[in-house]
Amino acid sequence: MASGDIVNVSTVTSGTFQPALGVELIVLCPLCANASFVGVTNGVQPMTIYYEYNIGGSPNMNKFGITNTFYYYTTDVTADSGLSAIQIK
């Protein structure tokens, strides 16, 4: 993968997505449902919660960066969970 590539990832099994070392992404569209939380974690604890998606609502579409150290997590691990991002490094 290279800078500028679009990345679409399913987080069904783990609820997290950790890019490879040295890779940085901007999350464009978190995909979740079921009153879930989305944010950044360091693997020990959630560090930032960007929004809560309520059934029947829509996400506020905050853009946020993730790296190998501070990576994506969601509390939703249903069939529709994941993210769409663009690689910046």
The domain limits of the chain are: 6-87
Q: What is the pTM of this model?
A: 0.81
Query: Which one-letter amino acid corresponds to residue 84?
Result: S
What mean pLDDT comes out for the span 10-25? Answer: 90
Q: Are 89 and 1 in contact (CB under 8 A)?
A: no
List the beta bridge partners of residue 83.
Answer: 9, 30
Q: Share the mean pLDDT of the chain.
A: 82
Q: In what order do the strands lie in the sheet with 36-41?
A: 16-17, 71-74, 36-41, 46-53
Cβ atoms of 68 and 59 closer than 8 Å? no
Q: For the ranges 9-18, 47-56, 66-75, which has the lowest average pLDDT?
A: 47-56
